[in-house]
Chain A
Amino acid sequence: MRDEPASLTNSEPYAFAAAGEGLASPRDYFELLKPRVMSLVIFTALVGLVRAPGDVHPVIAFTALLCIAVGAGAAGALNMWWDADIDAIMSRTRKRPVPSGRVSAQEALAFGLTLSAFSVVVLGLLVNALSGALLAFTIFFYVVIYTMWLKRSTPQNIIIGGAAGAFPPLVAWAGASGTVSLEPVLLFAIIFFWTPPHFWALALYRADDYARAGVPMLPVTAGPDETRLQILLYTLFLVPLAASPAVLGYAGLAYGAVAVLAGAWMIMLTWRVYRRREGEAAVKAAKGLFGFSIVYLFALFATLLGEAVIGGLLR
């Protein structure tokens, strides 16, 4: 007679039921993919895909987007597997599937690894090898360099780790054209330099959470005043950088106008964060900057997308 698998031996059923395992629904697994982050990844990747030179078949374009989205989601699942201990401490993350016990850490690990391998292999085989390699590097960077190494060891975590979130338009560009040029590198740079002010604005009013979990975010290690200064400096660098595609001729007047106007508003909100340092006004300013930073990035990429689509229709 065949031996029963270990999980079905007589000591296990009780533990199985008591731990609440087997209760995960498809929605819990979907949550492991960090759908809100994934939506931004899909959007920025779509911009890279549409703006890349050459014609790419819509089915191949869809496959590339799908693989990039799934790869990003897989990295999110692996992040939740590794960070379950600190996620359980922070109020923003304690309801995630692993710390809340709906999905076990092992299940999250297996889910993340499977989707990582699958998305990279499918992108490499069905689209091209360069994009597959870049996606593999992105997942590795987010999971190993950011999550496992930098996040808990240095206040520079979000600066370097931000690169992982900046890769999708580059991967998509490589998928559509088979090459990488200056324009997708600029798209990468815009997201890269946008990430620190965006996350530090959040960290300003969530500093207690990060401190409790022992995550060395800048407001925890250097204090809120230094964080406000860094947000201001990064934004002053980001705004002209974001306008550079128009200056260099990659984007049109509409993009230039949006980059300047939204950039000016971004600087104004950053200045407000820098000036308001106490009480409810400080929290309100930080929340305002955090919210607008998302609108800012969306406006930049939406204009790039709109210009490319309209330009394509007029050709």
Chain B
Amino acid sequence: MSMEKKTPRPSEEEGVVLTPEQIRRRRARNIAIASVLGFLALLFYVVTIVKLGPNVLNRPL
């Protein structure tokens, strides 16, 4: 008979159980992704204005 010590698994209902360190790093990753997305939205807006130039006001109604 095997005497190997087994680490208990989380039950199916619990699903993936993150350690506090994993939660902290996931939060840091989320903040980084949100910052990058916000920056890109701003960049695309500014580039659009720059490329359109004065034509930004020229739109047929």
Is B17 within 8 A of A24, CB to CB? no
Residues of A within 8 A of B32 (CB): 26, 29
Is B47 within 8 A of A59, CB to CB? yes
Is A126 within 8 A of B29, CB to CB? no
**Pick the contact of B15 from A13, A22, A59, A126 — CB < 8 Å?**
A13
The answer to whether A12 has its CB under 8 Å from any CB of chain B is: yes
Is B25 within 8 A of A23, CB to CB? yes
Residues of B within 8 A of A13 (CB): 9-10, 14-17
**Pick the contact of B7 from A14, A22, A57 — CB < 8 Å?**
A14
Per DSSP, are chain B's interface residues mostly helix, strand or loop, or mixed?
helix
A residues 47-65 in Cβ contact with B at 8 Å: 57, 59-60, 63
Contact string against B for A residues 131-155, beta-carbon threshold 8 Å, 1 for contact and 0 otherwise:
0000000000000000000000000
Nearest-Cβ distance from residue B8 to partner chain A, whole angstroms: 9
Question: Which residues of B approach A to under 8 Å, CB–CB?
Answer: 7, 9-10, 12, 14-19, 21-22, 25-26, 28-29, 31-32, 43-44, 46-47, 50-51
Question: Which residues of A approach B to under 8 Å, CB–CB?
Answer: 7-8, 10, 12-14, 16-17, 22-26, 29, 57, 59-60, 63, 66, 126
Q: What are 25 A-B interface contacts by the 8 Å CB criterion?
A: A7-B16, A8-B15, A10-B9, A10-B12, A13-B14, A13-B15, A13-B16, A14-B7, A14-B9, A17-B22, A22-B18, A22-B25, A23-B21, A24-B25, A25-B25, A26-B28, A26-B29, A26-B32, A29-B29, A59-B47, A60-B47, A60-B50, A63-B43, A126-B44, A126-B51
